[in-house]
Chain A
């Protein structure tokens, strides 16, 4: 059933459910479906409406005070039904076995669960994001190349699945799910003993306030909002719920998007329509004590120009590209592709760093919640991973005679910051999973330490970021949590 709280001022609260799932993005929708199929009564609570609105999106505004994040807090995420899947790129991948090893590189405990415990949900997750069993196998190109230090990335591409488009009808028609839209979680109330949640307060965009109660509660807002909500719930515990170890919001991680450099190839035949994506081998990561990452090569098979003067532009660029000297000189003024070359792009893991964090500031949104402050930090370990991966892949390409790579200047230096580090809109780590509350916010079952019936799901629980896009894994974790709650005696 669909209930729009903006047009429903007279609901009798408290409203009782088995589980309240807060946030209707990929994680929230996935877990709500599992619970409903298990016969549980679920309230799926979405702060936005059925479409994008400024009223809702404005709640995502915040301040970035660390490494430049431009207006990423506002634009990287979408606050309406389906969440950020509404502009998801669809790249699916999974964590490597080495990502689950306890490695000194990470500086703190890693995943408290095994890779198998995550991957057992892969088949169901594939069905949710519309990729087939063969999808990952198809990502291996038919190129006779296999170097010692890198391997082809296992990648599959979702159409991409828009969760609102795919699941709205099912959610609306479900007898076990009540989908509330324009329903903003504004407070989490604990029992006097402070060890379990007694209810949550939800507001519409007017003056309506509603109380929901359930046996179990799940936060599925995304890595920034999960932390922001826990920190804002400070009426009974001044530091916020789950924050006795001062870990809520810490270890914010992105995947680093670094322009590694340029490459040239002689044999264009193998590059037609090919994008070569590689991850380092486990041995390479262990040997160099670095993180994971994807290095992607896409060569320009032919010159492409656009616009009204495309014929003229093509003629000029064709002429310039025939002379290497002219190409070099021209690219000092404006960069453009030439046939047979391309750029090396990347997606690189960040080390979990407690100084890289989400906190809340004095400014409040229209619902009275304090707005987010993001202090995204990069450190020497991150720069080291970038440099080692860049140099490693350049050597590998030369050794296997596939291409020659020119590294960007700041990668050539031995130490120091690297210019032009961007991000992939992958927010992770702010309520990290750890069996020791000193190093995390949730336990291996994604339950907040010290609170019996409050769970968190999404990439905020990732202890490490790995060298893969997060959506596929967070859907697997949502399926796992859904089955776990369904089996609880109190579920």
Chain B
């Protein structure tokens, strides 16, 4: 079975037209981009000083020195 037949079979199996199949395939990455954008905005919204020693990032209550320590570390992605 070549690739064209596979796609056609999948479309038939799910009752999709070629147009709607392409719509779904092209929309998914857009949704992904939108999702990431929202997460960045969401993180930014919560970035605020709590006092001299602490800051809040994506809900995480951190020491300001954490930002330096955590960059490049496995935990760098934790605070979003």
Chain A residues at the B interface, C-beta cutoff of 8 Å: 261, 264, 266, 324-325, 328, 391, 394-395, 397-399, 404-409, 412
Q: Let me know if B59 and A408 touch, CB within 8 A.
A: yes
A404 contacts across to B, CB distance below 8 A: 60-62, 66, 78
**Chain A residue at minimum C-beta to C-beta distance from B48:** A412
Complex A-B: 8 CB contacts under 8 Å:
A324-B77, A399-B53, A404-B60, A406-B59, A406-B61, A406-B79, A408-B59, A412-B46
Closest Cβ–Cβ distance, residue A335 to chain B (whole Å): 15
| Residue interface mask B42-80, A partner, CB < 8 A = 1 | 000010001001101011111100100000001111111
**Chain B residue at minimum C-beta to C-beta distance from A324:** B77
B63 contacts across to A, CB distance below 8 A: 398-399
Instruction: Determine which residue in B53, B59, B76 has the highest number of CB atoms from chain A within 10 A of its CB, and name it.
Output: B59
Q: Let me know if A324 and B61 touch, CB within 8 A.
A: no
Q: Let me know if B74 and A391 touch, CB within 8 A.
A: no
Q: Let me know if A398 and B75 touch, CB within 8 A.
A: no
Instruction: Give Cα A261 to B62, complex, Å.
Output: 14
A391-B50, A404-B66 known; A264-B59 Cβ under 8 A: no
Instruction: Give Cα A39 to B79, complex, Å.
Output: 66
A324-B74, A324-B78, A412-B46 known; A398-B56 Cβ under 8 A: no
Closest Cβ–Cβ distance, residue A86 to chain B (whole Å): 40
Q: Dominant SS at the A interface?
A: helix
B62 contacts across to A, CB distance below 8 A: 398, 404
Q: Let me know if A405 and B61 touch, CB within 8 A.
A: yes
Could you tell me how many residues of chain B have their Cβ less than 8 Å away from some Cβ of chain A?
19
A399 contacts across to B, CB distance below 8 A: 53, 63
Q: Let me know if B61 and A395 touch, CB within 8 A.
A: yes
B56 contacts across to A, CB distance below 8 A: 407, 412
A395 contacts across to B, CB distance below 8 A: 50, 53-54, 61
A406 contacts across to B, CB distance below 8 A: 58-61, 79
A324 contacts across to B, CB distance below 8 A: 74-78
B75 contacts across to A, CB distance below 8 A: 264, 266, 324
Closest Cβ–Cβ distance, residue B71 to chain A (whole Å): 14
Instruction: Give Cα A412 to B78, complex, Å.
Output: 17
Q: Let me know if B54 and A398 touch, CB within 8 A.
A: yes
Closest Cβ–Cβ distance, residue A262 to chain B (whole Å): 9
With A391-B61, A404-B60 already in contact, 18 other A-B pairs whose C-beta atoms are closer than 8 Å? A264-B75, A324-B78, A325-B77, A328-B80, A395-B50, A395-B61, A397-B61, A398-B62, A398-B66, A404-B62, A404-B78, A405-B60, A406-B59, A406-B61, A407-B56, A407-B60, A409-B59, A412-B59
Instruction: Give Cα A282 to B50, complex, Å.
Output: 22
B60 contacts across to A, CB distance below 8 A: 404-407
Please give me the 10 A-B residue pairs with the lowest Cβ-Cβ distance, nearest first. A394-B61, A324-B77, A406-B59, A406-B60, A398-B63, A407-B59, A325-B77, A405-B61, A324-B78, A395-B54
Instruction: Give Cα A261 to B76, complex, Å.
Output: 19
**Chain A residue at minimum C-beta to C-beta distance from B73:** A266
B59 contacts across to A, CB distance below 8 A: 261, 406-409, 412
**Chain B residue at minimum C-beta to C-beta distance from A405:** B61
Closest Cβ–Cβ distance, residue A407 to chain B (whole Å): 5
Closest Cβ–Cβ distance, residue A355 to chain B (whole Å): 31
B50 contacts across to A, CB distance below 8 A: 391, 395
Closest Cβ–Cβ distance, residue A148 to chain B (whole Å): 12
Closest Cβ–Cβ distance, residue B1 to chain A (whole Å): 30
A409 contacts across to B, CB distance below 8 A: 59
